[in-house]
Chain A
Amino acid sequence: MEGRLRKLLVDPGIAVSANGAPSSRPDLFEFVVSLSEKHRAERALSLIDQEVARLQKSPISDKDFQRALNQEKLDMYGSIGSNSSLANMLGEYLVLSGDYLLGFKMLSAFEKLTPADLQKAAKQHLNKKQRTVVVIRPAKRGGKKS
């Protein structure tokens, strides 16, 4: 998929994969990047910071918004294609919120969002004060970190 992170990090050869999404821990939003050889985590982090700043500064285009909305739909429709995955989704929302239909309600709510809402959320939640950065580096021979 051609998300912004991919264009920013994978296409130029800095990373082999890059994605950002809410994690299974509902209070976290995670960016995960696997770097290509000889590329530094600091460079990737700086590019992600620039991209987040861009999201906070100006709203995404209507086209990008439509893209995101339809991809959410595809994701949900695709994930309820079998009885077990449908039951899984209903059960998960029931346990988390008491409303087994919340997933569908969220999808309807997405349709009422605007690019400005996303900009506001980016400003509110994606700030450096409340983030943790974890870097895993390969050890050099002899056990020293590179």
Chain B
Amino acid sequence: MKQLVLILILSVGEFIWAGPKLLYEEDPTLLTTTIEIVVQSGSSEDPTTKTGIANTIAELMLRGTQSKDRATFQSTLERMGGSLGGAASHDTIEFSGQVIKENTDAFLDLVTEFFTKPAFNEKEFKSLMQENIAATQHIKNVNTRLGGLALRREVFAGTPLERPTQGTLKTLKAIQLKDLKERYKTSFHKGNLLFAVASPFKRSQIEKKLEAIWNVLPDGKATPSPLISLKIPTEPTLIVVNKPHTSSGSVLMGQGGIVAQEPDRYDLYLGNFSFGGEPLVSRLFNVVRGALGWTYAIGSTYQAMGSLSKQKGLFMVYTTPSIEFTTKSLFKILNMWDSYLEGGLKKDEIDLAQDSMVNSYPFGFDSANKRLGWKVMSELYDVPILSPAEYESKVRSIGNDELVKRLKKHHTPRGWIISIVADAKVIQKQLDEEQKSIPAEKRLKIAKVLRPEQIIE
């Protein structure tokens, strides 16, 4: 009975509490205070002609307040031993910062100032846009990014996720300062806001400081980000980003992934551990790099678009082979995928994946910041945080028959969008050579050749 009364009181306490939504990790041994402020509104809400608004807001808000210009704001922050960063994802604008513990109060005052009274200064806006345009042009030099963006263009064609969160040259040039101010007005409200703090101090002390932000923000209703369907082909679609004279190719292969709440995620993660997820022990690594020596980096992941979320992501296989082995690596991977999809894993591969996943799981909680990360993930995406015992029981219960069933439910043998960043003429020659014994109509063909400039335009 005593227990029941206590539970009722706690429930009423949660219900009537109207202060900031705060996830908290108190750890008296910490030497720093860490804060994350999550605004649940990301680039998927940017107009398609102005992708980059959400990310630009995050960056511009850290370039001065109504009473401190950029130089004063930054030197105040840095002199107190603090740092702050801001960036957008497809569904959030996130600010994160850290300060040496003795200056926690002053730091939180500064956080309140930038968050509630950003300058949105015209000169800083122009300077930031110039930097971001230069950074976007720089993407041409990073083959893996080019390949990833080429994939994204296909999978999310015609949607807000078609372009990178940071925007492209055209969309960045279309953004005006008034767009940012408008978005700040519509998205920065109580309904969209989540605070997360790890600190050596008492929760009540931090909560009191955060109320300064909470109290001046308008009320609002949480607006879930739009969920976008992926365009996945039934047959492999090959896109080449043409980079003449490259000495290595960058190959990315994507098909539909999973959402954060996917119940089959434990099975799929276990399978991927031994297929390509874990360097040094995975099949892809051992065969394509280890035995054949065709490539340097190789792997596969369900987190190709960052952490899992409510938006279905991409499952991706990636590799950076020497140019002469580019299509050989591609066909080998396709071949290995077929055998994985059909037969799953061998017993020793499952045992290794289970042992490693179970034994490494607690390391995900060995610091206050990591525990805070789990709490944020759980809150944003309705994902339960399993205890090590619950996790072990879940992972140990997975057998190969279940794995194969789950693989077939979520994946297809041929539904790949493939991007290769390399010399298009060389790739064409290799495709001809590798497939000369196959009838022309069954060969993998280049569907599109893009220039690097087209990817970022």
Which residues on A are within 8 Å of B, measured CB to CB? 1-2, 10-11, 13, 16, 34, 36-37, 63, 66-67, 70-71, 73-74, 77-78, 80-84, 138-139, 141, 143
Q: What chain A residues lie within 8 Å of B134 (beta carbons)? A: 13, 16, 36-37
**A-B pairs, 8 with minimum CB distance:** A70-B81, A82-B367, A77-B31, A36-B134, A2-B74, A67-B79, A67-B78, A74-B81
Which residues on B are within 8 Å of A, measured CB to CB? 30-32, 70-71, 74-75, 78-83, 98-101, 103, 127, 130-131, 134-135, 137-138, 141, 244-245, 363, 366-370
**Given that A2-B71, A2-B78, A74-B98 are contacting pairs, would A143 and B245 also be in contact in the complex, using a CB cutoff of 8 Å?**
yes
Q: How far is the CB of B83 from chain A (nearest CB, A)?
A: 6
A77–B363 CB distance below 8 A? no
Q: How far is the CB of A140 from chain B (nearest CB, A)?
A: 10
Given contacts A16-B138, A36-B134, A71-B81, 5 further A-B contacts (CB under 8 A): A13-B131, A16-B131, A70-B78, A70-B82, A73-B100
Q: What chain B residues lie within 8 Å of A73 (beta carbons)? A: 81, 100
Complex: A84 Cα to B78 Cα, angstroms: 27
Q: What chain B residues lie within 8 Å of A74 (beta carbons)? A: 32, 81-83, 98-100
Q: What chain B residues lie within 8 Å of A37 (beta carbons)? A: 134, 137-138
A81–B79 CB distance below 8 A? no
B30–A81 CB distance below 8 A? yes
Across the two chains, which residue of chain B brings its CB closest to A86? Answer: B367
B366–A83 CB distance below 8 A? yes
B141–A138 CB distance below 8 A? yes
Across the two chains, which residue of chain A brings its CB closest to B137? Answer: A37
Complex: A74 Cα to B99 Cα, angstroms: 6
Q: How far is the CB of A41 from chain B (nearest CB, A)?
A: 14
Complex: A143 Cα to B369 Cα, angstroms: 48
Q: What chain B residues lie within 8 Å of A82 (beta carbons)? A: 366-367, 369-370
Across the two chains, which residue of chain A brings its CB closest to B73? Answer: A2
**Given that A10-B131, A74-B82 are contacting pairs, would A81 and B138 also be in contact in the complex, using a CB cutoff of 8 Å?**
no
**Given that A16-B131, A78-B32, A81-B368 are contacting pairs, would A63 and B75 also be in contact in the complex, using a CB cutoff of 8 Å?**
yes
Complex: A36 Cα to B99 Cα, angstroms: 32
Contact of A84 among B70, B101, B244, B366 (CB under 8 A): B366
Q: What chain B residues lie within 8 Å of A34 (beta carbons)? A: 138
B366–A11 CB distance below 8 A? no
Complex: A67 Cα to B78 Cα, angstroms: 5
Complex: A81 Cα to B83 Cα, angstroms: 16
Across the two chains, which residue of chain B brings its CB closest to A141? Answer: B244
A81–B78 CB distance below 8 A? no
Complex: A70 Cα to B74 Cα, angstroms: 13
Across the two chains, which residue of chain B brings its CB closest to A81? Answer: B367
A70–B138 CB distance below 8 A? no
Across the two chains, which residue of chain B brings its CB closest to A76? Answer: B31
Q: What are 9 sample pairs from A and B whose C-beta atoms fall under 8 A apart?
A: A2-B75, A13-B134, A66-B79, A71-B78, A71-B81, A81-B367, A81-B368, A82-B367, A84-B363
**Given that A77-B31, A78-B32, A81-B32 are contacting pairs, would A70 and B366 also be in contact in the complex, using a CB cutoff of 8 Å?**
no
Q: What chain A residues lie within 8 Å of B367 (beta carbons)? A: 81-83
Q: How far is the CB of A116 from chain B (nearest CB, A)?
A: 20
Complex: A83 Cα to B368 Cα, angstroms: 11
Q: How far is the CB of B321 from chain A (nearest CB, A)?
A: 21
Across the two chains, which residue of chain B brings its CB closest to A69? Answer: B81
Q: How far is the CB of B68 from chain A (nearest CB, A)?
A: 13
Complex: A13 Cα to B134 Cα, angstroms: 7
